Structure 1
Amino acid sequence: ATDAHPALILAGVEAGVPVFCEKPVAKTMSEGVAVLKAVRDKGVPIQIGYNRRFDTGFVNARAAVLSGELGSLHTVRSTT
Structure 2
Amino acid sequence: MSAPDQKVERSNGVSWRLVVGIVLLAAVLVLVLQNTKETTFELFWMSVSAPLWILVVASLVLGFLIGWLLRSRRSKRRANV
TM-score (normalizing by structure 1):
0.28
Query: Where is the strand percentage greater, Structure 1 or Structure 2?
Result: 2
Q: Which has the higher contact order (CA 8 A, sep 6+)?
A: 1
Structure exhibiting the larger radius of gyration computed from Cα positions: 2
TM-score (normalizing by structure 2):
0.28
Query: Where is the helix percentage greater, Structure 1 or Structure 2?
Result: 2
